[in-house]
A and B are shown apart, each in its own frame.
Chain A
Amino acid sequence: MKMHHACRALTGILRREMRRTLRQRGRLFSAIVRPLVWLAIFAAGFRSVLGLSITPPYQTYVLYEVYVVPGLAAMMLLFHAMASSLAMVYDREMGSMRLLLTAPLPRWYLLAARLLASVIVGLPLVYLFLVIARYWDVRPPALGYVAVFPALLLSGLMLGAFGLLVSSVSTQMENFAGVMNFVIFPMFFASTALYPLWRLAEAGPVLATIAAWNPFSSAVELIRFALYLRFDAASALVVLICLLAFFLAAVVGYDPGRGLWSRRPGS
């Protein structure tokens, strides 16, 4: 693999991803409206649900809107990752995945480039959401917007790698309704995105344990801490390990000799 070849391919993949995203106005629009609906309507009803308790990294008691914003940012990444892996399944049915995989570069590199490109394309929207959230008095320190970037990137990559893995084992687009029900919703609801761990523990220790082990919770906490200029090392480690594990599994899934890909008729 030559360096300049690899760079050109990455730029090409990134450019294609950007153009496609920008031309899908409807998807862009719903991606930004979704968290705002949660914030404006859902969160309004739970305003004081957290009471006077203090949950780190917040140094004082906070309104529910403030608590839920990092979770909603992570939700955006999750939906983006799933939409993008849906696009990959679609790509494969339509054939453009073949085009990517017959490029003269190692397959793991092509998949990594595709993953990185898709995450980078999704980040500006998350920032737009964070800026709009200021209207609801969710105002983290200015530097927090900088510090949250690596957290968003890492979390996005982890969720994207998960999506890549899903796309490598999912044969048809129809299966994606199942993915929504059995993957996205449980991952989102059984996490610390909507309620802090102590709230979940009150509801039931099983739920709290699931949420504590859910990698999506780690992504949420990583983002939450970073936004308030703190580094949550444990969460960062979990996210990183999950990223590597999901990505390696996805590479195996797309391997021409081993993966499920090779046993699939018509692909």
Chain B
Amino acid sequence: MTRHNEIDCDVLVVGAGPAGLSAASELRALGVVRVLVLEREAQAGGVPRHCHHTGFGLRDLHRLLSGPSYADELVRRALASGVQILTATTVTSLEKNGQAHATNSSGVHDITSRAVLLASGARERPRSARLVAGDRPPGVFTTGQLQQWVYGKGLPVGTRALVIGAEHVSFSAMMTLRHAHVKPVALVTDLEEHQSVAPFAFAARRFFGVPVWTSTRVVAINGQQRVREVVLEDVRTGAHRVEAVDVVVFSGDWIPDYELARRLGVELDAGTLGPASDDGGRTSVASFYAAGNLLHPVETADVAALRAREVARALVKDLANDSTSSSHDQIAVRVEAPLSWAWPNRFDPLSPVSRVALRAKTFSGSRLLVARQDGREIGRERVGRIVPNRSLSVAGAFLAVADPGRGPVTLSLG
């Protein structure tokens, strides 16, 4: 049997998207010597590489860039800071002793490090995971697949499309379709409103003639050799109708790419499905950290990048203290419906939580967010309008009086 190659580094970063690259650069800036980033795609940069529209880099780089330019800039900065990036290299498994195993065209590698930072990102749930019935012909996409199809490979898409979903990324899918000369017929959401910002929905209708069909559900896709039609249901009346299209794009409905983390034995949060972690990205397994959209899908690239820098700082602090602390002895954060998750999922009562990110399943006006521990209210905070598939961010001070001896904190809407 051919030998495996041995690689040793200080911190191994899995994934060269905005979070992984930003964290890696930060690690170098904070004095970590050997920072190795492994990326399974042929090019580093992550999802923004395929998003050929502007809107990237505002919060972290203080510039407005297209997705590919933003990705290039993050790669450039990481390399300039002395980060080593190996692309076309797949991490295949992780072990609790910190060892990682990876494959690329030069062989199979065993990697040792002092800490591992997981930044494997998130993907959109495809049609099958959403249990949409019918035939299984070509012509069914996710946004990520469509963008690579159009911008990456220049492959033909079709002529008429429905976009399933009406969140930020759904409008991105619409723009990609238009770029590929495919007519977007409508954006379809089973919720009563779109979940993006008003200017996007306005522009879609006003300038591109693309409506959002609300309270509408996809029942089935028909067509043998190619998508022929989509069966839609009005969720209020149950009435069915048929729309003739040859392209269906399933957008949004993100899920973290947690496979490596879960196989390692990292505990996942029931709400985010990402590794349960504190705001330093510490997971339930010592020396393993998580950052970016793996933690809670999805935030914009710049937000993922900024939070990943915070994880890098926490990681460096732990390395300096020679601490192997994990999120184990912390206070867990739980949510009650209609909240779907809150992050951080854990916190250390001795160090303040600066911000809490939240999501809910249903629309709502401004509400009170109430924190309880052992049935007793410990704090409250007013939150703004709640939109499903979009995060709210609230100051974390209301968690300050949590008692480590009283079990998990539960958040609910008052």
Chains A and B come from one and the same complex: no
Interface residues of A (CB under 8 A from B): none
Interface residues of B (CB under 8 A from A): none
